[in-house]
Structure 1
Amino acid sequence: MNRYLKLVNFEFERFVKFYLVLIGVTILSQIVGLIITSKSYMSRANEEIYVNLMPQSDFLDQYGMMSFYNFSQTGWFIGPIALCIVALVIYVFFIWYRDWFGKNTFSYRLFMLPTERINIYFAKATTILLFVLGLVALQILLFPIESQVLKWIVPPEFRMDMSVLEITGNLYFLYLLFPKTLIEFVLFYGTGMVAVFVMFTAILFERSYRLKGILFAILYVGISFLVTMGPLLIDTFILDNYFYPMELFLLEVGAVLIVLVAALWIGNKLIKHKIRV
């Protein structure tokens, strides 16, 4: 366990500088964007009400009240979140391939460490999970701060306050990032981690067999996808919605668990016996 934790710490430190950049971009973009969006709204309100002499009620009917929902529709808010997601998806590949394509053949030293090779696999996956949860926690902390900034700029008569649950419930992708229940959290992030394990194992296929490994990796990912979606596809196109929703849900959970076990078992075999350094 001690060696595993050291590997996690090692992997974390290798990415932490770029990770801090992502955090900085997220904070700066959202705070600056909220200020710009709020001031733009108030500037329009002042122009319409005090210059064009539009009644306040008419302005609110036409433009609506300012809320965090308005800001959440802008690139200032969505942009850094999308950037973080794309960066972490790329890092799923980079966390492996930099060991082979860096200035030195670091993979040789990494796999020669006095520890089970599967610990390297789990350490990289744990690092990805920690980065994801860290960015999610950052966004949760930003919500009340940004709500307070909105209150400072927009007067109550022009503002509609929203709770964190209301904010995350208005955008579907936010609902996926911030589940409302523990079960949903386990399902969403558990499924995401299974996808990471599948990609890790696909990468190990490529690293183990090189050109042939690319074909193996594509076939493996395709089979994993079909197994995962199998119950839903069979129920929809073959059995004509035969299963009850709860039965279909349990079948999907079972399929995901099969994919998870297969990914770990194949990944363990590859990293122990087939990987080329």
Structure 2
Amino acid sequence: MNLLKLLSWEVERVTKPFLMLVTGLLVVQFGYLGYFLWGETNFYEQLRRAGDADYQMSFADYLGGTPYLLSLGIAVAAVLLYSVWIWYRDFQGRGTFMMRLLTMPQKRMTIFFAKLATILMMTFGLFAVEWIALKLQYIAFTSWFEDKMIPMQGSFEQALSYQAILSMMYPSSLVNFVIHQLMITIAVLFIFAFVLIERSFWQRTLWSPVLSLSILVVILTIPILGYAFLDNYLIYDETIVYVGVVLIAWAGVTIWLGGRFLQTKLNV
């Protein structure tokens, strides 16, 4: 079975949960938007009657609301949890499904990259859906208050920049976008490496999660400690190069580590 067939298989398995996640996200956000518009309009009318109508609406106020942030945070967390579950579900039933995968006539790393591509497609799909939803919510927001002749301030881009999670998802420059996507990929690779190391140890010791986490913590902290030591000696451009090299090194090491345990150490 080649990579495309495995990828198609994984995508088919994730389609229903992903659609449920996106549907729940949109229902919560648009429902909260309606509540926000109604509440802010009533609040402005109260100020107007009191002779204090200097208050201006901002899309950033809506994006800073707890229901919106909570819905987005849960969606992102769900994708990260699925990056764990995409492996552990195949170990259910004493690992018989994983055993079938590992005994298929293909390289084991094909399984690794098929699952990685599935998670990245979920992530980019979530980002794309949320971007479209944000645009529609902004259109509804501005249309509503313009119709009510209520003053507004700030642009769409400014509103996004005020929220840390949105500025991470949709940075203003292409370079930052590439760096953020690489960081997301590395986070998924660390999760994959943790699962594969832990699954390789699970028949040998009860301390397997601690051991696997310790290995990854060492890999994670060595470059950070190196940066803390070199920080005073690096200029801005050199710091950017160092961060880029570290990100690439993290990606390479986690792929190598996950692949090694998948191909030579994994027990099912």
Cα 1:103–1:162 change in 2 (3 A) is farther
User: Match for residue 144 of structure 1?
Assistant: 135
Work out whether 1:41 is the aligned partner of 2:40.
yes
User: Match for residue 11 of structure 2?
Assistant: 12
Identity of aligned residues (%): 23
Cα 1:159–1:131 change in 2 (3 A) is farther
3-state SS in 2 of match to 1:115: coil
Aligned mates of 2:8, 2:224 — CA distance in 1: 35
User: Match for residue 275 of structure 1?
Assistant: 266
User: Match for residue 225 of structure 1?
Assistant: 220
Match runs of 1:187-266 below 5 Å: 187-210=179-202, 211=205, 213-236=208-231, 241-266=232-257
Cα root mean square deviation, aligned: 1.9
Work out whether 1:59 is the aligned partner of 2:50.
no
Aligned mates of 2:247, 2:143 — CA distance in 1: 47
Aligned residue identity for 1:101: Q
Aligned residue identity for 2:28: S
1:132 to 120, 123, 129: 123
- Quote how far apart the aligned CAs of 1:39 are: 0.9
Cα 1:77–1:114 change in 2 (3 A) is same
- Quote how far apart the aligned CAs of 1:119 are: 0.9
Aligned mates of 2:132, 2:94 — CA distance in 1: 38
Q: Is the 8 A contact 1:66 1:158 kept in 2?
A: yes
User: Match for residue 85 of structure 1?
Assistant: 76
- Quote how far apart the aligned CAs of 1:105 are: 2.2
Q: Is the 8 A contact 1:198 1:224 kept in 2?
A: no
Q: Answer with 190-199 or 128-137: which moved more.
A: 190-199
Q: Is the 8 A contact 1:8 1:124 kept in 2?
A: yes
Aligned mates of 2:33, 2:94 — CA distance in 1: 42
- Quote how far apart the aligned CAs of 1:187 are: 0.6
Q: Is the 8 A contact 2:59 2:156 kept in 1?
A: no
The C-alpha deviation readout for 1:63-104, integer Å capped at 9, x for no partner, is x31221111111232121101111112112111111112587
Aligned mates of 2:250, 2:9 — CA distance in 1: 28
Aligned mates of 1:112, 1:103 — CA distance in 2: 15
Aligned residue identity for 1:227: I
3-state SS in 2 of match to 1:155: helix
3-state SS in 1 of match to 2:233: coil
Question: Normalized against structure 2, the TM-score is what?
Answer: 0.91
User: Match for residue 107 of structure 2?
Assistant: 116
Aligned mates of 1:214, 1:235 — CA distance in 2: 32
User: Match for residue 28 of structure 2?
Assistant: 29
3-state SS in 1 of match to 2:53: helix
Cα 1:163–1:44 change in 2 (3 A) is closer
- Quote how far apart the aligned CAs of 1:153 are: 2.5
- Quote how far apart the aligned CAs of 1:106 are: 0.9
- Quote how far apart the aligned CAs of 1:219 are: 2.0
Aligned residue identity for 1:94: W
- Quote how far apart the aligned CAs of 1:229 are: 1.5
Aligned mates of 1:47, 1:149 — CA distance in 2: 22
Relative contact order higher in (CA < 8 Å, ≥ 6 apart): 2
